[in-house]
Chain A
């Protein structure tokens, strides 16, 4: 059809900038989108961290007067929302974006413009949520937003929970779009020879997480629509006096919320499953077991939601069923931990920064996993629910777990992104400070919880006897903050002064290390032909008869660096586009319109519609 030249208005021409702001605004390159995701999520990480410090200052002593009740409620709500929706999920997305095409030997994702759209929607959704601080108050009903507190008129001051219902909806669109994108990418874009069971485990976990997102986001979307309708239009979904049901929200929220927990942790598990083999110089122990236990966790994750609701009066039969499912989800989780131990066992362990964070992940996650089992013991959970014991548990899982895992991934893969290795000395300082600060902050929460201290209290009386450990926790939180500063120094320093990474600084195992760092925009000059799991390792090493690796002599498969300097005009890459950005920009406008003045929502709708039309009408760039 190339011969049929259709002239279109210049409006539809594809942008051509490859450097500067315009290039970043119109990029569809999965690597740039990955960097954007990572940088944005890191900024939100700092915001969420500052919020955590504010909470800790307030709680350092009984009868704290640093924040008033309403501010405290806004801050703890935004801390939760930020860390979950604007930090851990998009940081995982940063890794998905940057790495998945590289790991499967592809040049980009299946839908590059949809990928850009995901990022922009996430960004504007985050900004929309945060703008509420300046527009009458941020969400103040908890990240879990229980109805009817969140939905009923006058129960909470301000418009915060309306921002919550619309803001999360927007961020959810981003997750949904990227879920579809990565499922299709992983299933369809693998290099020849890369069968499913040859995929790196990180790719596998991305696939599982994408399916979880695909099924979980619609559930929260419905709940959020109902909440938004209750708040904006006076529907009464959650008002029992009018025939609604207060518990309906909790069922919907946790039916999303528990798979969400696995959405947060599985990517980190995938990262650790890449880092441990590389630095143990052994393949992952029990690859199939690790993959299938990940799938099992993803599947069983749908059958445990009501363990968040043991005290709502579901009755002993339902409580028993969810207690059992919650206990037994510990089994596949344990399988993973044992396989990671098996990976290290008999290896030759190099204690680099990424490895320390990966081991830290395993060590801390064990604690979080064990305290998780105690939640399944319904009668004792009656005592623990909504106390700091639960706060301790999920920080061991999501900070000791997910955040340690993500930092492991950052130290491991940033050299691929920037071309320079981060300082090992600063990396280790970061690790030890964070490990100490983390345990100082969160370990005492276990006993505070058992001593009855409830969550979400902006103040507590002196006679409760909780003052001492709260003070220790506050000190610990500042140690964590110091460790993050060390990381930032390390990051900035390594950009200019870090050791050159080369293609393969860690003697690693997977395909992303076969190409230069940073990779050319087309990733692979030639699409690799995959013959093994751990393809790169097998190109570098053969095994002798005792199973020990021997370097492949010829090195014929090794990359010819000179080759990468050449232009490859024959490689067809997706063209940049500003329509994903335009389509995303309309969404918060709809949100503001719904809250303040509905005709503005129509304008927002038209902006998004224009973006989608442009998107479908724009041609490929002229050669």
Chain B
């Protein structure tokens, strides 16, 4: 069942998002690995479309919040309002009470609002005035972010970037794909016609299966060699944390499962590695980020 369902999901997303198979597969792996996803790219390359397609094909309830600089935490989490008839406060749930939240342009909001969201992501619940309200399960956040050098942005601090399992870039489509896009149907219409390929329960099942993918000692040796390299090379201010290592393994498992294997091979780790480490490592010298992640892979021999 797993192989068929993930293939179908990928197929329907790729019908909408053209020529971005790798990014789409990464995004799906991220969700199957129970991670939150950060998409960083220029406006107009299909960040929102990707999030929307994912939500629809996975059959998840979807909410979109457009972040602005004057946004307050209550605008996301919800607010308690006094109801005179009942003589009590009642909690009005915010947009965060959904299964997939698209936080659009997260770095336009003030740090206060950003951290309210990120806290909820970490805790899987919202606490307001002493009352805790659990979030849905599954619950995902797909945040999009403009490149930080654009004006009017508050870059996410490193500690909060760490909450996202992956950060991916979409980039411009290639010549062929762009031509097909320009000729083809209106994407918004296509989104409306899109139907769910699986139910949320099936998604939970996929996640279960992914977490049981076989991980050999030899592969753990490889992951450890990668982690050790980032700590010893001296090119970065800090090496990768154990949490990053755990994330790497989770994502590699999901990737292996989507690739139709029930065990992880080094190629799986290599496929997800750049998206896992790029937002966690700070290079000492200003290096082109896409390059150095691949460079690490080239420096570490597979044991």
Q: Do A and B bind each other?
A: no
Taking Cβ atoms with an 8 Å cutoff, the residues of B that contact A are none
Taking Cβ atoms with an 8 Å cutoff, the residues of A that contact B are none
